[in-house]
Structure 1
Amino acid sequence: MNTSTEVEILLVEDNMNDAELTKRALSKNKILNTLIHLKDGASAIDFLFGKGEFEGRDISHKPKVILLDLKMPKVDGLEVLKVIKSDPLTKNIPVVVLTSSKENPDIEKSYELGANSYIVKPVDFDGFMKAVSEVGLYWLLHNQYPIK
């Protein structure tokens, strides 16, 4: 995994089928860009802060957007979101919660912790592809980032 270049999309998803569908939807619309896929919340935290297996990674290369599942092993998405939004180095990275949970407590907690968007994964293939494509288009092509 090449983590030395700029990362545009950080996908944190433990379900390999959903991860592949996400990659496929972004690729189909030519917005795959530089995507790193991590399978659990602990790896996401390590990646963002250059710890563990990502020791020595240049943490100045921040993702333009993080697509974050909630229900994951090791560290769940809400805890990852809390860590991201409570640290000055990462708090401005847009986080889109992309999850199967329609539970109102999950939605409320995600926004309380600083999520920029909350999207329930559509269960049908076409709906899933469309939702991910729209997310990618918005956050990578339409959203404006401050100049560093």
Structure 2
Amino acid sequence: MAGYLRRYAENKGWTLYKLAKESHLSDSTLRTADLTTLYKLSVINVKKISEAVGESPGKVLDDLFKIEEEIEMENTYYYNKDTDTLLTGVEYDRNIERYALERWEEVRNNTEEREAMDWNSVEDVKQTILENESDFVISDGEGNPLTEW
């Protein structure tokens, strides 16, 4: 997702230009890579970036994947036609997370209900909610569905 390298550099307190210089990569290489997806970033470039920031390539990749996911969520919308509600991906995820936490608190001490639902953690609750969620569909920024109800 475009912008992941710029955001990574900013999280480090750097510009994309400084990240390029410190990693001994050309500015145009990083700017071009920043316009595409992380999957197109070469292994050697990840290694050079990791050396520049003093972290392992695995840590850098984990951070970049997280950033790319954040950007994707910021640019994704969910629409509920029954309530005429449009949420960003971030808002939608927060609502699911909040509901999962509330539901987990309700059942945490009820072994019978937890076993019936096969829930051992709040993540299990969240997964069930996401699997059963049908009121919201992915849409564009105006609420026009990108998938069928």
State the TM-score bracket (shorter-chain normalisation).
under 0.3
Structure of higher CA gyration radius: 2
Q: TM-score, normalised by structure 1?
A: 0.21
Give the structure with the larger helix fraction.
2
Q: TM-score, normalised by structure 2?
A: 0.21
